[in-house]
Amino acid sequence: MKMRTVAALAGCFLIFSCQTEGEYVSVLPVEPVFDRPAEETPFTPVSAPAEETPFTPVSAPAEETPFIPVSAPADPALVEEESFNPQQVSQELFDTTLLEVQRFIIRVNSIIRAGRYDDWVKILSQEYIETYSSPDYLKKASEDPLFKSKKIVLTNFRDFFRYNVVPSRADIDTVEVDDIEFITPVRVKAFTVNAKGQRLRLYELEKDGNDWRINK
């Protein structure tokens, strides 16, 4: 350490000669060496540890509930018809219905006798109208020998009323309803009893609200 300091202050070079095994070896002056500060390592900030994401357990998929179609509610009228027993009709209901039907048939006879087609259509059920006004039925009815002999062709529902209903009901204009038979709570068959005691069916009727209509 002292030699380095002296060499630095004097500012000169010393040459030494040494003899080693008969040769002179020049020893160059030693460059002064100063203590150098240790190389600084740049500061690298330590990154904060990444924030941990809490573990969320994955729920098992919900069990699927099998689809069960909801059945349409049963028609109350159909249920009532299926469970209806005509033998269990009360006497009061029978008497009330018989009186209603007798009055209705009197009205029907009056309409037919007068040939009032528009009023007649109003006392028919939709089923009756669709059945007897269809082109297929009118064509088939026109093949009846009675119509063919008179060269009558039924082309519409009015023809059916004029040439079939009015003549066929002319003979029963004064016939009264003597008995009824329940089919359902709102459908009955109307009968008359002739002089021979025979029970003849006049109509099958259907009640729509408070009104009776001809169904067959």
pLDDT at position 50 = 53
* 1: its two tokens: 């350490």
Give the domains, in start order, of the chain with CATH numbers.
86-214 (3.10.450)
* 120: its two tokens: 């007649």
- Please state, in angstroms and rounded to a whole number, the distance separating the CA atoms of residues 177 and 67: 55
Q: What is the dihedral of CA 209, 212, 213, 216, to 10 degrees?
A: 120
* For the chain, the helix, strand and coil percentages under 3-state DSSP, each to the nearest 5: 40, 20, 45
pLDDT at position 212 = 96
Cβ atoms of 105 and 190 closer than 8 Å: yes
Which residues are bridge partners to 19 per DSSP? 24
pLDDT values of the chain reduced to their tens digit, one per residue, 216 residues: 444 444 444 444 433 344 444 444 444 444 444 445 555 555 555 555 555 555 555 555 556 555 554 544 544 444 455 678 888 889 999 999 999 999 999 999 999 999 999 999 999 999 999 999 999 999 999 999 989 999 999 999 999 999 999 998 876 666 889 999 999 999 999 999 988 889 999 999 999 999 999 998
Phi and psi (nearest 5°) for 44?
-110, 110
Maximum Cα–Cα distance across the chain: 179
- The reported pTM is 0.60
